[in-house]
Copies of this chain bind each other. A is one copy, B any other.
C-alpha cells in the first residue's frame, strides 16, 4: 500500500504538497494538483485514516453498543445511529453480545482505545454509578433506553410507566374489567415499569389485577406461549391481556387460539414495541409504538453535539438540562376490541 511519501517522491513534490491536495487546500497550483492527483491514481493511493486521526486528534467514528443484532428492536436502534453517521460522514463501530457488566465495560473500553468519543450505549448491566463515572470521562457518551437522573440530559429513554398506563386506559376504554398480564422474567427495569404503570392505572379506575393472572417468561414467542398456558390453567378468566412485548404477545395469541379462544372477540391482547412482526401477525397486533429508530437518531445527534460542546467550552460547565423522554404511542390494530362480556 503506497504512502504519502511514495506519492511525493514519484510526483517530485514534498509530502506537504501531497497532503494539501489530499485535503483540497485551495492554495496549490492547479498544475501541481493535477500532477499529484495523477500519481495518486496511478499508485492507487488511499490516505491512512489511522495516521490522520493520530495527528488531527479527530475521529470520524461513532460507536454503538447493543446486546444483539438479531433482535429487530436493536437492529432498528443501530440503524438509526447509522443514518446519523452517514449524514455526518462518520462511520459505525458496532459492538454486540453484551451479557455481563464486564463485557459492557470492555466494549466501552475498546471504543475508548480507538478514541471514538461519540458513542451511543445501551447498557442494562452496568450500575448507575459506574455509568455516571464513565460519562464524566467520556463527553460524547449517551445512554439509550435507560434513565439515570443525575445524567438525565445524556439519556434518551422511553417512559415505560406511561406505556403501561396507556395500555390500561385503552383496555379500560374498551370496557374490559378482568385483566391478565404477561411480563418478562428478566429483572431489568422495563418490564417492571410497564407492569406497574398498567396496574397503577387499573387501580386508579377502581380495578385490580389478580396476582395469579400475572405470568413471567422468556421475552420471546415461546415464552409467550408457555406463560399463556399457565394463565389458562389457573382456571381464572380474563378478557384483556397486556403483554410485555410483541413477540410474547404473538405467542400468547397463538396459544389462546389453539385453546379455542378468539382474539379479539373473546380476549383482547395488547403488546409493546410495535416491531415489524406486529404488522405481520394475524390478527394484526394492537401495541404500543416504541420509536426506537427516531430515539437512536436523537441519541446519536446528542452525542455528537456533546463532543462539540466540550470542544467549544472546555471547562465551562454547560449543563444541558433538556430531557429526552419519549412516550409510546398506542397503535390500535386488530387484537383488541370492545369487551362484550359485561
Contacts and interface: CB of A to CB of B under 8 A. Distances in A.
Given A69-B75, A79-B69, A50 B46 contact: no
A25 B72 CA distance: 43
Interface stretch (A89-97, A152-160, A200-208): A89-97
Contact-residue bracket for chain A: 35 or more
Chain A interface, DSSP helix/strand/loop, else mixed? helix
Interface in A72-126: 72, 75-76, 78-79, 82-83, 86, 91-97, 109-110, 112-115
B277 A115 contact: no
Contacts of A115: 1, 48-50
Contacts of A86: 96-97
Contacts of A93: 61, 91-94
A279 interface: yes
A169 to B, nearest CB: 28
A172 interface: no
Nearest to A64: B94
A47 B112 CA distance: 9
Contacts of A68: 79
